[in-house]
A and B are shown apart, each in its own frame.
Chain A
Amino acid sequence: MDITVTINGQDHTHDVEPRTLLVDFVRTKAALTGTHIGCDTTSCGACTVLLDGVPVKSCTVLAVQADGASIMTVEGLKDADGAHPIQAAFKEEHGLQCGFCTPGMMLVGHALLEQNANPSDDDVRWAISGNLCRCTGYMNIVKAIRAAGAMATT
């Protein structure tokens, strides 16, 4: 099937099997490898993308379902002015170690801040509870997301 998915504002048209997972479309067809794969059971969120603005696990969406949809991946966070506040905050607050969960964490954080620019510690913990991190113990991820919110509001 020929499908067109808009990723970070750019159209990607490819012929795919119906069974192609969205994460494979993004990583292989669109060659955007910032979106990762960490599990087989929809548990880890390393594959998180924003599908029409909503965070989803792209390993559990078929690419054909995203035909005509608009997707944002980690590569889309950076704008013309350089690093996005959330990217800057993750570096500043040491919100990442190996960086494997980081794209998903930042996208979920970004989506949260769109709704609530000043989330509490628990708001953030709740929002990222579909994303696993094996390195950081989450403390600094929470800090980074809150700091990004503060950066954006000041």
Chain B
Amino acid sequence: MFPSAFDYVAAHSVREAVAAKAEGGDDTRFLAGGQSLLPMMKTRLANPAKLVDINRVPALDTIERANGHLRVGALVRHADIARSDLPFGVIAAAAPWISDPLVRNRGTLCGAVAHCDPEGDWNSVLLATGADVIATGPSGERAIPIADFIVDFFTNALHVDEMVTEVRIPIPVGRVGGSYQKLERKIGDYATVAVAAHIELADNGTISRAGIALTAVAPKNTKVPAAEAVLVGNAPSDVLFAEAGELAAQASQPRSDVRGSAEWKRNVVRVFTRRALAAAVVGANES
């Protein structure tokens, strides 16, 4: 299976990339790791007229801690994140479970974020941690909160001439822990159900901040504010986690498919939320 013909430009700066995209419009796509786009093009589910390859743009491959944020540039590959010791909590926990080792060597976090696949893992991680997406257009950059960035099923909030140049994840002060519970049928499979949990603990041991987000059980990655709310201000306990699990299950909108029934998936959300919270608290206590 081979892609349809297209034009190709290799951009050497963000400015060049954005200009090329602006010129091409909707029929033009950025090419980052290519691990979502090229498979779609090979099966001709996507037939862009032009690709703007950003892989030769310098300095986008930086992952660093700066100004209270973990900054992940547009060319940071999943494997870079898995290998780095800068990520914390749920970010570090999720990285090894993205696709498979070879795909991780190419695919980028920013590409996955832009792709907005409801079965993709990163957007749940970013929802749980409250990240911002940095979009750069001809007139400069803007920060878009991840919850606003994810518009729908494969739809993001970028303007036609904007690219994601970076994702910024706030680094909590104090004790933080996270867990990513993913049910996949095998390595290389997308999540059937996954739950991202992010926990920050106050000095007195109560939960000061909680982030919970769900993968593959709604048309888009879904944050669960109701479950987060029951946690904040309380001391961690199994009963509390079970309650949060129940709320997460209620918030999920799974569909029955070949992987399993909606009822079972909702149950897995319930169980995984509970387990993710317990693991996150263990992590926070150890941090």
Q: Which residues of A contact B (CB under 8 A)?
A: 1, 17-19, 21, 24, 40-43, 45, 48, 54-57, 59-62, 64-65, 108, 126-131
Contacts and interface: CB of A to CB of B under 8 A. Distances in A.
Contacts of A61: 34, 38, 106
B5 interface: yes
A19 B4 contact: yes
A28 to B, nearest CB: 12
Contacts of A40: 1, 39, 42-43
B144 to A, nearest CB: 28
A65 B55 contact: yes
Highest count of chain B CB atoms <10 Å: which of A128, A130, A131: A130
Contacts, number: 83
B188 A130 contact: yes
Nearest to B53: A65
Contact of A56 (B6, B7, B53, B105): B105
Nearest to A115: B83
Contacts of B171: none
Given A19-B5, A61-B34, A62-B34, 11 more contacts: A18-B51, A21-B2, A40-B39, A40-B43, A42-B35, A45-B100, A45-B102, A57-B106, A60-B103, A62-B53, A130-B100
A126 B102 CA distance: 11
B45 to A, nearest CB: 11
Contacts of A48: 102
The 5 closest A-B pairs by CB, nearest first: A130-B100, A18-B8, A130-B102, A129-B187, A40-B1
B111 to A, nearest CB: 13
